[in-house]
Amino acid sequence: MHIGLLEDNPAVFEMLVTAFEMEGHTIETHLTGHSLLHRLDPAAPFPYDVLIVDLGLPGGISEVDVLAHLEQTFPPGSTSILVLSGTSLNELERVRMRFPAVGILRKSARLAALFQSILAIKRPV
């Protein structure tokens, strides 16, 4: 699977890259929302089987702005996105209400739960 990762925490970033690569996945990483948005071509298909997005990103563009941009740019059902964050349950619920097609998982989850969540939301190829 080709996975996109939008994560700014170096420890989490390295752990996820290692875990996904050990499972045989390829991973493309982004530290900021700007980096991710510059990578995307609206005229091309969504480049990832799954995109994992952290909340609380630095760099002037929020994760909600990123999710809204993806929602407006790509046709419904063409993206698989999982928010993986350690933020409050209230904030995660706010994101869930605004973006019902996006999967939500707390960072305290085990890797097995993360892999299961990814398989559950992965878009058909």
Tell me the pLDDT of the chain (125 aa) as tens digits. 999 999 988 888 899 999 999 999 999 999 888 999 999 998 899 999 999 998 877 767 888 899 999 999 998 888 999 998 888 889 889 999 999 989 888 887 777 788 888 877 775 54
In this prediction, residue 81 carries a pLDDT of 93
Spatial CB neighbours of 8, under 8 Å, sequence gap ≥ 6: 31, 32, 54, 56, 57, 58, 59
Q: Supply the pTM of this predicted model.
A: 0.88
In this prediction, residue 10 carries a pLDDT of 86
In this prediction, residue 124 carries a pLDDT of 52
In this prediction, residue 123 carries a pLDDT of 55
Measured CA to CA, the distance from residue 77 to residue 91 in angstroms comes to 24
